[in-house]
Amino acid sequence: MALAIPENVVVSKLDELANWCRKNSLWPMPFATACCGIELMATGASRHDLARFGAEAFRFSPRQCDVMIVAGRVVMKMLPVLQRIWQQMHEPKWCISMGACASTGGVFDTYCVVQGIDRFIPVDMYVPGCPPRPEQLIQAIIDLQDKIAAEGTLTGREFKTAERQQPKRALMELPILGQTPVFPSRPIRGGMARPDTNSQGVG
């Protein structure tokens, strides 16, 4: 039975359409607290030109942003601010942890520096490096676009899966000294974009 489709009409799924729109107009929230922020600015500037990937509209209001880029070390006085800004962003939203400091604390293993923001907020992409080059950050954004295209849904069902609700590996593997673990130990399954599970490599 032939279906008459007029010219210039494409049939697709609504989810795919939403993903296509979302992934090509990511609006970053620059949470730049340290030296990595300079590379973040360079990424947005003309030489590296993040506009080629549709992510040039940096907004300093969390209400207008899709992807939070945490660039730099986060100290314990800043962490409540970071969490608040993350909660103020609207779904769908993603988080890129840029650089060694945001991902692990880096060389700053001191009393006031948070040892990896993924202990306290969800992270989708990790960018290794100190600081990562703009190309690496662009690669992370491209990988994030692939991730959105692959698993995104119109209603954001993918954020509600059990895997996404799983506590971060750092919290499970490194319980805080002198405290009973908040989360029982569970084996780690794939699905989250950790540097070692991301075969594309983020940089």
| Interface positions with another protein (CB under 8 A) | 76-77, 79-80, 83, 86-87, 89, 91, 93, 109-115, 119-122, 159-160, 164-165, 167-168, 171, 176-179, 182
Site for ligand SF4 in 9-38 (CB under 6 A): 34-36
Q: Between 112 and 182, whose beta carbon lies closer to ligand SF4?
A: 112
Q: Between 2 and 162, whose beta carbon lies closer to another protein?
A: 162
Spell out the SS3 assignment of 34-81: CCHHHHHHHHHCCCCCHHHHCCCCCCCCHHHCCEEEEECCCECCCHHH
Is 75 among the residues that bind ligand SF4 (CB under 6 A)?
A: no
Interface with ligand SF4 (CB under 6 A), residue from 55, 67, 74, 100: 100
Centre a 10 Å sphere on the Cβ of residue 194 and count the other Cβ atoms it contains. 16
The H-assigned helical ranges of 127-182 are: 134-151, 162-165, 169-173
CB of 156 to another protein, least distance (A): 10
Q: Report whether 11 contacts 5 (CB < 8 A).
A: yes
Judge if the upstream peptide bond of residue 131 is cis by omega within 30 degrees of 0.
Answer: yes
Is 42 among the residues that bind ligand SF4 (CB under 6 A)?
A: no
Point out which residues bind ligand SF4 (CB under 6 A).
Answer: 34-36, 72-73, 99-101, 106, 130-131
